Every structure is written in C-alpha cells, then in structure tokens.
Chains A and B, each alone.
Chain A
C-alpha cells in the first residue's frame, strides 16, 4: 500500500492582510499565498514588493514582529501595516 501522505507538497495557505495606505498602494486588502516550505517573512515581504514601501510594520498571527527570518507556516496570518496613527 503506497503511503499517500509521504512527500506530499506542503498544503495550506498563508493569508496576507494590508492596511491603511499600504492597502491603497497595493490596490487590495487581502490575498493568500501558498505555504511553501522554508518561506521566511523576509521572502514574503520581498515577493510582495516591500522594497518600495516607505516604512511599514509587520505582524504574524496578530502579534507584531521584527523577526524577518521567521519561518511562515500554513494558516499563518501576516499583516503588512503602515505606522499606527490611532488616538
């Protein structure tokens, strides 16, 4: 009986959210990307054109982070955010 689970491609997706001026710049608020193995936050930001953003903050699963080497996994929610301006 072959093991159908072995060597299967990574399943699942990462949700990416954009807020404020970044959503305007991107022309979208939300997208999903495939959860590839060994995908880091840095790679994701780069793929989405982060080099062109003036300044931004990142959160993974609703927690702010500066760790660009962080590995992303299926079902993670990544937020790309301009500096906050509440209050």
Chain B
C-alpha cells in the first residue's frame, strides 16, 4: 500500500517538460505506428507530390521519429541521481552542462557536442580536452552561475552535478523555468548508471553499451590480475588531494579506486580529511599517490609537457617532517597522477595505473598508457594528443 502511494506521489511530482508530443493526433501520449505513418505520408505528399494537405513540419516530424525510435513512442521519464523524475515530451536538441565529468560521459556515448549550447566556465577553459564546443557559451560556474547567459542560451535541460556543490546552479536554472537533471559520473558505479540513463534519454543506447563494455573490459583485466590477492599483500596507500595534507579516504573517487586496485587507503577515514605528519608516519604507507591538475597543483594533462613541476611536488613530499622514513619514500613508490584520470569514464585509466603501481609484479601485463590512448581515441575523438598525466612516467 505504501509503495502504491509512493508511486502515485512520484507520478504526480514528475514534471512534464516542453511542448506536447508532436504527431500524437489522438492526444493519448503515445505515438502509434498509424500516427507515425500518417505523419510521414502527409509530409512526403506535401514535399514531393505537390500535395496541398496539412503536414507536420520537418522539425516536428524529426522529433516524433526520435520519440518513436528511441523512446518507444512515448514521453520519456528520466530519473536523475537524486531521485527526481522529469518527463520529456520532446528530444533534447539543446543542453547546458555544468560538470566536465557529465559532459565527458555524454561525449563518450556519442552525444553530439554541437547540441551543447552552454557549459561551465571550467569546461570551456579546457579546450584541449573539449575542442568541439565551438558554439557553446559560458554559463558561469557552480559557485557563480551566469543567469543572463543561461536565460539567453535557454537550453532544453541543464545537467548539474549531484550533491550540495551543484545546488546554487540548479536553483538558478529552476528559477528560470529550465528543467534540471543532476548526475555525478564520478564513481565507477555512477559512471555506468549515468551513462546508461544518458543513453536512453539522448538516443545513444548503443554508445552507452559500448562505453560500459569498455569499462567492464578494463576493470575485468585489473580484477583478473588481482584475483586471489592475499590480505597481507594489500598495501597501505596514502592518497593526497591537490592541497597538501588533505587525504582522499574511502568514499572519494581516488580512495575507492585504491581499494579497487588492491590497496588500502590510510589513515582510516571517510571522504576528504585533513591529516598531520604524525598520522601519516604512523600509518606508514607503502605507496603515496598525489593528485594534480587543480589548484594548488594545476598542471599536467593534455598539452603539458613540462615535468619540472611534477618533480618539484614529488621532491617536496619527501622533505616533509618524518616522511623520508616512510616505506613509500624509501622504496621510491611516490606517484603523481592527473585527477582527470580518476574522474568520469576515464577512471579505468587511473585504476590501471594504480594497479600497476600497487602490484607491479601481478599487473606487469597491463598497459595503462595504451588504455588511456584507446579511451581518448574511441570515446573522446582525440587522437595524437600528448601531455604528462603521471609521474614517474612508466607504470
């Protein structure tokens, strides 16, 4: 009974979006074969046979064909990562995206970048990674959304990161009456779920399936190498965020990937946590992973060929009080990695690097650089790109 009430409430709360479904002549919110055929013949008659009857416009017929083909002939109810459902009665021809990970996932499943009319400022600053956003306008940032720009772009929907960081941007779009969908595309599980949801909504099911297959293959390769790993061979790993002394524990993308790569994040904790020299030395990590790519370590990635900053940061870690005695420092197992390889669908690249660093003998057959190259060329349309993503360079 409670479930039934919940379902009814959800259906009532689900907001129908955009204009009425085209070519639905009987208004039953379902495009039948007959309605589609009549619309096609009317159009062909007027366009090619000098017919004088009424026909749907090409735009309406295209939308109807899309709904018929991709949405099984009915409005599409999309539920986002925060459990909010929006019912779409037209395909999304124009979108705005406030997260690089969401945009990357959309591109990876084949959504045309020409349909992205607005994007977060940080996305537009990363032209090396997103070179195909020619007509895309900046709509501000998560902290400071540009209301006027958003209103002028007037997208069919705005994609905003799930969680509190996206609240301001989501509220701004909602105030303008623009539908908001919230996803994260951060963890391995959410990337798959979100990609599948995008695939259904954006008419890219095949692309989503191909992406998920690729992720499964790469994760499977790592899992096969770590199969039967004894507990006493699981190394303690200190993962540090961009800022010094901020640890990425379980529940962060980096912390979760360390577990997936056969490691144990230390010190014990959850989320991002401040740590002291004493805490780290007490945890005695066998491996240290340092994230770069954002302030105050905004370097690395596509187009950056200067290793000097990697070396500076690497050496500074070893000079911290008491850290020279750490097993990771003594054995030269301190690695720097661009955070982009831990986020969005690229997490499999980061995972492969981690597995090779944590278990070099078991994972000798893995080639993270090749996985990275394959991902960039197959799912990003980026070939012949170069840059420093990890340090030291060889996994």
The answer to whether A and B come from one shared complex is: no
Give chain A's interface residues, CB within 8 Å of chain B. Answer: none
Residues of B within 8 A of A (CB): none
